[in-house]
């Protein structure tokens, strides 16, 4: 069988080419992929495998060299570790540290794994060679003698092969440039250039790719959906292709126009540009025709087995009593279903696939069910609705989708997807998998999120505690941060549980350089400081809202002889201590008045000639004037109190009893001008997003606390 290795000319996969040569696996070289593309191995059978390590494992298994993948399962696992280690470290900033580690490791070893040459030796050797002058300089020194001994031994044993590969590709990379691929093979982040590492769709051609983002309109988009939407956007743009937004509206009991409208709103918020919006319901007539056709061909049947019994039989591989019904009997019951009769509602249509298949998704899956509920688009026209597993491949094929992006949780159902297409006689649509995005202390199931809404545990789908796009934006997340967070993960297929801290850290880097600074003190925890030599009459200075960003504008700050301090600050001040009043100067505290141990007032004097460098305390303050505004500072906690729920755990057993805390405060008068949705920093308190702006003096401005990624307590907000 002919095997072709396709890669980009500017990034030749030296480890793959070297390993194939040593292993005796013949490859046809095709260096014509787009710049930065990930290598793909194409077989004359039409199959292909994608990614450096996947290809290396294939070569190791196909090798004519004995024990190229180790002599047993343990050694094979050790080989896998080296495959992952080599490109990540040897081409990065830890190069010398990696060489030092290898030198120590090889001090008493001839080979990396076991007692013979394995693909691990060739991969590490290739990565060292690929660094060009960087390795050659170390090799000529006497710094890593064990590593050099091993390197020279491999080079000598396979001199002709390795010299040929090195001369053909390393020179083209330039001195000091490693051809080793990125281990993550991720999508470029926002700030990376287009020459960064990119990912490819198997068999994709520029101008011919069509992808689709297919949300179900049964809730608002959440952070997991955002990953799918942005990956589809990435591939559509990368290949100058089409992006279809298709609503998978096949369950009228859960769907509504409200969800459709807000999903479209969220897609716009994410910056996803699509070519067309379609609905699975547009294809209901054709889907029904296909179901009837499959029944007539004997590829589907109507089953009236009770739901629980059917589930049990599928698990045990037991055929339904209806599986061998005649076509006429099946069509008769199908008509009962279409008409929504009592008899019809007891039935469903199942595909006749293979009840003995180890993959249980192929054990006669359900294609159609009865549902009397009216549909949000077509009303009560239909009484039967297709399942996702039946409708999705059908509509993908009809709409011209070339690549269907699906999260890896559907992996076991991929075979079913292809089998359904085959039985329908439709063209093949390639599936491209990516890992589902999971967040700590978070549930992303729309069924569970709906429970929070229906039980008034949150305001609605836009609640700042929710992981919905609108919820996290309302909390204060900039959409640029969300996009960067998702793109940094790329299209990895590894399941990952992500920390919210990382997302909020990215967000802080975006908001901190530009957001305006303001001052606030807690309303029930503040203390008056009287400055005996302060100004007789209050005066105003115009100061920048952000000392390093003129675009934030100006603010008017009032200076007076009576000012408010936070009680927490007052409680750590000593008599005679000199403190710094931010944006004013130093003051010396002369007296601390108390009542039953509670501080009631401070008396001090300005010392504006004092050095701010000598003071321990730098304090925020507000002049005691009538123009101060009332604030409501709102902080949130996770809706569940366990970092990761196991599959058998009920989220209702892990609800957080207190998820919203509110504190009243006084703010500087400039906050009357803060707009809805604006992000500000309350100095020494943190970042806040304005949820309710100033309306009148009797109604507080509502500010939502924004995590900064550094907090480790449960006061960090989350989604549901």
Quote the longest CA-to-CA distance of the chain: 101
Kindly name the residue from 436, 448, 525, 660 that is annotated as catalytic.
Answer: 436
Residue 515, C-beta contacts closer than 8 angstroms, at least 6 positions apart: 546, 552, 678, 679, 680, 681, 687
Continuous segment of H or E residues that includes residue 511: helix 500-511
Continuous segment of H or E residues that includes residue 212: strand 210-213
Q: Compute the distance between CA of residue 490 and CA of residue 227 in angstroms, rounded to an integer.
A: 9
b/e for 682-695, b at 16 or more Cβ within 10 A? Answer: bbebbbbbbbebbe
Continuous segment of H or E residues that includes residue 157: helix 145-157
Q: Compute the distance between CA of residue 442 and CA of residue 720 in angstroms, rounded to an integer.
A: 5
- The three-state secondary structure class of 559 is strand
| Rg over CA atoms, the chain | 33
Q: Which residue has the tokens 């929710």?
A: 466
Q: Is 446 a catalytic residue?
A: yes
Work out the burial of residue 420: count CB atoms within 10 Å of its CB; fewer than 13 is exposed, 13-18 middle, 19 or more buried: buried
- The three-state secondary structure class of 609 is coil
Residue 133, C-beta contacts closer than 8 angstroms, at least 6 positions apart: 175, 176
Kindly name the residue from 57, 406, 446, 545 that is annotated as catalytic.
Answer: 446
* Cβ proximity of 602 and 530 under 8 Å: yes
190 alpha carbon, distance to own chain's centre: 14
Q: Compute the distance between CA of residue 151 and CA of residue 157 in angstroms, rounded to an integer.
A: 10
* Cβ proximity of 302 and 333 under 8 Å: yes
**SS3 labels along 627-666:** CCEEEEEEEECCCECCCCCCCCCCHHHHECCCCEEEEEEE
Residue 195, C-beta contacts closer than 8 angstroms, at least 6 positions apart: 35, 36
CA-based end-to-end distance of the chain: 52
* Cβ proximity of 86 and 101 under 8 Å: no
Q: Is 212 a catalytic residue?
A: no
In this structure, the number of other CB atoms found within 10 A of the CB of residue 144 comes to 20
Q: Compute the distance between CA of residue 416 and CA of residue 314 in angstroms, rounded to an integer.
A: 14
For the beta sheet containing 276-279, the strands, ordered from the edge strand earlier in sequence to the opposite edge, are 210-213, 242-247, 276-279
Residue 74, C-beta contacts closer than 8 angstroms, at least 6 positions apart: none
Q: Is 605 a catalytic residue?
A: no
Q: Which residues on adjacent β-strands are paired with residue 531?
A: 604
**SS3 labels along 292-343:** HHHHHCCCEEEECCCHHHHHHHHHHCCCCCCCCCCHHHHHHHHHHHHHCCCC
Q: How many residues are recorded in the chain?
A: 720
Continuous segment of H or E residues that includes residue 213: strand 210-213
Kindly name the residue from 11, 21, 212, 216 that is annotated as catalytic.
Answer: 216
In degrees, rounded to 5, the angle at the alpha carbon of residue 710 between the alpha carbons of residues 709 and 713 is 100
- Among 249, 233, 301, 284, which Cα is nearest to 394's? 284
Q: Copy the structure tokens of residue 686.
A: 């943190």
Residues serving a catalytic function are: 216, 436, 446
């Amino acid at each position: 069988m002919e095997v072709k290795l396709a890669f980009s000319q500017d990034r030749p996969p030296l480890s793959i080419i070297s390993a194939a040569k040593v292993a005796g696996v013949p490859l046809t070289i095709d260096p014509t992929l787009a710049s930065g593309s990930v290598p793909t191995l194409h077989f004359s059978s039409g199959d292909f495998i994608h990614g450096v390590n996947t290809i290396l494992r294939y070569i190791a298994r196909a090798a004519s060299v004995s024990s190229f993948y180790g002599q047993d399962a343990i050694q094979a696992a050790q080989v896998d570790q080296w495959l992952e280690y080599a490109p990540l470290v040897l081409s990065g900033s830890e190069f010398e540290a990696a060489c030092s580690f290898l030198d120590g490791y090889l001090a008493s070893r001839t080979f990396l794994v076991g007692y013979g040459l394995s693909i691990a030796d060739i991969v590490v050797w290739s990565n060292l060679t690929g660094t060009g002058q960087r390795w050659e300089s170390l090799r000529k020194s006497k710094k890593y003698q064990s590593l050099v001994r091993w390197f020279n031994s491999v080079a000598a044993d396979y001199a002709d092969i390795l010299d040929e590969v090195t001369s053909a590709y390393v020179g083209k990379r330039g001195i000091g440039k490693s051809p080793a691929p990125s281990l993550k093979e991720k999508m470029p982040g926002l700030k990376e250039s287009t020459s960064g590492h990119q990912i490819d769709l198997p068999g994709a051609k520029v101008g011919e790719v069509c992808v689709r983002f297919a949300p179900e309109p049964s809730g608002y988009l959440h952070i997991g959906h955002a990953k799918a939407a942005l990956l589809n956007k990435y591939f559509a743009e990368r290949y100058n292709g089409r992006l279809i937004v298709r609503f998978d509206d096949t369950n009228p009991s859960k769907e509504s126009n409200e969800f459709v409208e807000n999903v479209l709103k969220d897609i716009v918020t994410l910056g996803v540009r699509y070519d067309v919006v379609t609905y699975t319901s547009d294809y209901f007539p054709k889907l029904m025709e296909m179901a009837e056709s499959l029944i007539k061909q004997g590829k589907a049947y109507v089953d009236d087995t009770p739901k629980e019994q059917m589930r049990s039989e599928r698990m045990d591989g037991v055929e339904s009593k209806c599986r061998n019904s005649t076509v006429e009997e099946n069509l008769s019951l199908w008509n009962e279903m279409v008409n929504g009769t009592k008899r019809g509602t007891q039935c469903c249509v199942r595909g006749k696939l293979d009840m003995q298949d180890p993959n249980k998704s192929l054990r006669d899956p359900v294609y159609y069910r009865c549902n009397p509920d009216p549909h949000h688009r077509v009303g009560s026209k239909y009484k039967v609705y297709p399942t996702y597993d039946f409708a999705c491949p059908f509509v993908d094929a009809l709409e011209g989708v070339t690549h269907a992006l699906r999260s890896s949780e559907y992996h076991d159902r991929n075979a079913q997807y292809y089998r359904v297409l085959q039985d329908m006689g439709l063209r093949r649509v390639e599936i491209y998998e990516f890992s589902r995005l999971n967040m700590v202390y978070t549930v992303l199931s729309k069924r569970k999120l709906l429970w929070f809404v229906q039980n008034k545990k949150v305001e609605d789908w836009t609640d700042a505690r929710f992981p919905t796009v609108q919820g996290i934006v309302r909390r204060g997340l900039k959409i640029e941060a969300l996009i960067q967070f998702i793109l940094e993960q790329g299209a990895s297929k590894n399941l990952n549980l992500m920390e919210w801290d990382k997302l909020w850290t990215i967000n802080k880097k975006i908001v901190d350089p530009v957001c305006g600074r303001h001052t606030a003190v807690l309303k029930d925890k503040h203390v008056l400081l009287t400055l005996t030599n302060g100004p007789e009459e209050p005066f105003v200075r115009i100061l920048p809202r952000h000392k390093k960003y003129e675009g934030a504008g100006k603010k008017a700050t009032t200076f007076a002889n009576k000012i408010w301090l936070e009680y927490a600050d007052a409680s750590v001040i000593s008599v005679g201590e000199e403190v710094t009043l931010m944006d004013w100067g130093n003051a010396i505290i002369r007296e601390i008045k108390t009542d039953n141990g509670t501080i009631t007032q401070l008396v001090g004097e300005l010392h504006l000639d004092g050095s701010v460098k000598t003071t321990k305390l730098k304090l925020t303050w507000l002049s005691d004037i009538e123009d101060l505004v009332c604030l409501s500072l709102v902080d949130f906690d996770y809706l569940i109190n366990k970092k990761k729920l196991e599959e058998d755990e009920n989220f209702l057993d892990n609800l957080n009893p207190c998820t919203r805390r509110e504190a009243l405060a006084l703010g500087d008068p400039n906050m009357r001008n803060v707009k809805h949705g604006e992000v500000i920093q309350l100095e020494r308190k943190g970042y806040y997003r304005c949820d309710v702006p100033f309306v009148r003096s009797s109604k507080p401005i509502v500010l939502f606390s924004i995590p900064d990624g550094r907090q480790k307590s449960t006061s960090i907000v989350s989604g549901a």
